[in-house]
Amino acid sequence: MLYSHDTFGLGHLRRSRALAQAITEANPDASALILTGSPVAGRFDFPRRVDHVRLPGVTKRRDGSYVSQTMGMTIEETTDLRAGLIRSTAEQYQPDVLIVDKEPTGFRGELVPTLDMLARRGDARMVLGLRDVLDEPEVLAAEWARKNAVEATEKYYHETWVYGLKSIYDPTDGLPLSSAARARMHWTGYLRRSLQSTAEPPEQPYILVTPGGGGDGQAMVNLVLSAYEQDPGLSPRAVLVYGPFLSGDTRAAFEERVEALDGRVTAVGFESQIETLFAHAQGVICMGGYNTFCEVLSFDQRALIVPRTVPRLEQYIRAARAEKLGLISMLDETRDGLTPEAMIAAIRRLPEQALPSQAITDGLLDGLDYVTTRISALLGGRAAGQAAE
């Protein structure tokens, strides 16, 4: 069973889906159930022997607070409802392994009753899965202290998996984890994405422009459109995927601008098989989310990353580190300026940029293979360590 709280964007669900697919493909006797709060979970195709349970939705505001998507319910009432659904699902599904994405105690602590129940039963291995970057060390330490996340990691989790490489970044830097908890940590490598679809790609050549889920991608999309509007000779053409969370009014205004560009930019709202677009593009302009970064590496794409810096610096930290390693280039607001001129220059430089494979390190994309090996070990009773009592 995989828990993915999904209050904003697509990242947690897409990561859980990739893990579930790899685990079930590696073990023909395995099934996987994903618990997700994503409002667009039903628009994804799930592999055979993988299903999902949709939790009542909540939305994260730009200031970091949350509001319930369920009409007439407070955030407290919605959290209680979600907690009950998670626990009852775990009681009936009886998972052998629970993989928790990013939040050790779940959204607003909703996972704790389930963790307590599974710990008392003692027949499930519990794994905390962390992306390569969470936030600035000081900010993360304060957040985890507020959520009792360090205590939960020490108490409940048999292993912690970091979906990256320690040589690139340690997301737990600054956290007061015990030596025992750190001994249970595994750096898996990034989660490789593969081309599953046989769908026809768009007419080539093109560059792919994707703000991920799109909820915070307005500034990047505006910058790309401004670049094509200002420079009539800018090429190749751009294929823009808005993402499902870009607001309707904003998208409508963008559509008018796309139409006026007369085919030099084309756009779609949501593409569940975005791997096809990645695989055949001449380059990628994107934000710095974890899943998009994995796709850039997996399809060996020259990429320009325009990271967000609020409400957390995760994307900026990832992009800055990747640029230093020669994996991507970044448009830095302070260094380069977020102007149409800067975007035009970056797009023109993209064809000469080095491919990620020219800077790739051993084990960089071994994450899914590493995970399936750890699952076999956990199911065989050969866990690397036991959670603290």
Torsions phi, psi for 99 (to 5 deg): -110, 120
User: Which secondary-structure segment (H or E) carries 369?
Assistant: helix 367-379
- Pick the closest to residue 229 from 348, 341, 346 (CA basis): 341
Domains of the chain and any CATH numbers: 2-192+366-379 (3.40.50.2000), 206-358 (3.40.50.2000)
For residue 274, what pLDDT is reported?
Answer: 85
CA–CA separation, 1 and 95 (whole Å): 6
Can you list the positions of beta strands (E) in 82-173?
Answer: 97-101, 125-131, 159-163
CA distance 16 to 10: 10
| pLDDT by residue, tens only, the chain of 389 residues | 999 987 655 667 889 999 999 999 999 999 999 999 887 777 677 889 999 999 998 887 767 678 888 778 989 999 999 999 999 999 999 999 999 999 999 999 999 999 999 999 999 999 999 999 999 999 999 999 999 999 999 999 999 999 999 989 999 999 999 999 999 999 999 999 988 777 788 899 999 999 876 678 899 999 999 999 999 999 999 999 987 777 788 889 999 999 999 999 999 876 667 889 999 999 999 999 999 999 999 999 999 999 998 888 999 999 999 999 999 999 999 999 999 999 999 999 999 999 999 997 789 999 999 999 999 999 985 344 445 44
| Cα–Cα distance for residue pair 7/38, rounded to 1 Å | 7
User: Model's pTM, two decimal places?
Assistant: 0.91
The Cα-based distances of 162 to 138, 170, 172 in angstroms read: 19, 8, 9
What confidence score (pLDDT) does residue 64 get? 67
**pLDDT of 243:** 79
